[in-house]
């Protein structure tokens, strides 16, 4: 599966010729100034929660691509109210089979409000199961024991976890999460974008390596094969 990183917690994964774009926050990210959102294609846009550092470009990209927006009920209804016409509301614990595979919405320990302050429902992560394999994107979350249970949905070809600390888990807890999930490959997200979440990338890679886990930190705009 090809993963392209767009900075912060935004990335796309190509599965069965379908492009799934997660948590688009690009135009407001100084580090992603070289990314032109009008060139981003997507068949689905998955939103883990309502915070603007995960949803800021969702309306524009959904309207330009006619991608289906998938997220919590409240997130999907807010997107509808902004003029998005294709959406699929879900909620924690729910699962749905799309044309690329299955999305299961997992519990995330965080908060969720929309950019205008309205209620965003429950924050979530996603377990995506397709013919090519299964991966997990935790969304913004603390480390939680539920991750031991999520392992039963694996084995995970890779997992995507926040590592920036302060608003989410940091490196130490993300290493524990990866161990509980049985993951050998972790793509780190939600770091370096703001002052609160700047990290030492070398130290982060070393902390994962110590446990035999590869921490991948693709550059913004870079694609990797997983
Ligand atoms: Ni958040
Ligand atoms: Mn966030």
Q: What is the pLDDT of residues 115-147, one digit of tens each?
A: 999 999 999 999 999 999 999 999 999 999 999
CA distance 47 to 22: 6
**pLDDT recorded at residue 104:** 98
- What is the rounded average pLDDT of the residues 6-19? 97
Cα separations (Å) of 66 from 61, 166, 213?
8, 35, 37
The Cα–Cα gap between 90 and 124 comes to 10
**CATH number, residue 134:** 3.60.15.10
| Cα-to-centroid distance, 131 and ligand 1 (Å) | 30
Contact 92, 125 (CB under 8 A): no
Which phi and psi (to 5°) does residue 23 adopt? 45, 60
Report the domain count for the chain. Answer: 1
Q: How far is the CA of 137 from the centre of ligand 1 (A)?
A: 14
- The whole-number pLDDT of residue 53 equals 98
Tokens representing residue 86 in the block: 């294709």
pLDDT tens digit sequence for 67-81: 999 999 999 999 999
The arithmetic mean of pLDDT across residues 43-51, rounded, is 98
Among 172, 171, 180, which residue's Cα sits nearest to residue 151? 180
Say yes or no to pLDDT of 4 above 90. Answer: yes
Q: Ligand nearest 49 Cα, by number?
A: 1
> Residue 186's Cα: distance from chain center in Å?
12
Reply yes or no on whether the pLDDT at 16 is more than 90: no
Asked if omega into 98 is within 30° of 0 (cis), the reply is: no
Residues 129-159: b if buried by 16+ CB within 10 A, e if exposed: bbebbbbbbbbbbebbeebeebeebbebbbb
**Mean pLDDT score across all residues of the chain:** 98
Residue 68 · residue 96 · CB < 8 Å? no
User: Which of 76, 72, 10 minimizes the C-alpha distance to 42?
Assistant: 10
What protein residues have CB closer than 5 angstroms to ion ligand 2? Answer: 53, 140
Q: How many residues are present in the chain? A: 226
pLDDT over 90 (residue 57): yes
The structure's pTM equals 0.98
Ligand 1: distance of its center to the CA of 111 in Å? 6
Among the bound ligands, the one closest to the CA of 110 = 1
Range of the domain at 107: 2-225
Asked if pLDDT for residue 165 goes beyond 90, the answer is yes
Q: Residue 99 C-alpha to ligand 2 middle, in angstroms? A: 28
Closest CA to 142 of 171, 106, 178, 169: 169
Surrounding residues of ion ligand 1, Cβ less than 5 A: 51, 140
Residue 184's pLDDT is what?
97
Question: In the predicted model, what is the mean pLDDT of residues 32-52?
Answer: 98
Q: Which residue has the tokens 């294609």?
A: 41
Note the ligand closest to the C-alpha atom of 164: 2
C-alpha 61/C-alpha 24 separation (Å) is: 8
- What is the CA(88)–ligand 1 centre distance, in A? 21
């Amino acid at each position: 599966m090809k993963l392209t990183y767009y900075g912060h917690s935004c990335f796309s994964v190509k599965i069965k010729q379908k492009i799934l774009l997660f948590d688009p926050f690009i135009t407001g990210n100084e580090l992603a100034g070289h990314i032109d959102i009008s060139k981003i294609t997507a068949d689905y846009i998955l939103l883990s929660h309502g915070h603007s550092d995960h949803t800021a470009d969702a309306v524009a990209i959904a309207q330009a691509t006619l991608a289906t927006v998938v997220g919590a009920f409240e997130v999907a209804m807010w997107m509808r109210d902004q003029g998005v016409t294709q959406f699929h509301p879900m909620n924690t614990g729910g699962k749905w089979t799309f044309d690329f595979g299955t999305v299961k919405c997992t519990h995330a320990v965080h908060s969720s409000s929309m950019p205008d302050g309205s209620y965003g429902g429950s924050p979530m992560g996603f377990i995506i199961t397709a013919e090519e394999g299964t991966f997990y994107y935790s969304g913004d979350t603390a480390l939680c024991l539920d991750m031991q249970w999520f392992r039963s949905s694996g084995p995970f070809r890779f997992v995507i976890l926040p590592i920036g600390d302060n608003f989410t888990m940091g490196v130490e807890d993300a290493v524990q999460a990866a161990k509980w999930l049985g993951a050998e490959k972790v793509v780190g997200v939600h770091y370096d974008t703001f002052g609160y979440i700047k990290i030492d990338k070398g130290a982060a890679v070393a902390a994962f390596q110590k446990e035999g886990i590869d921490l991948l930190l693709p550059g913004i705009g870079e694609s990797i094969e997983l």
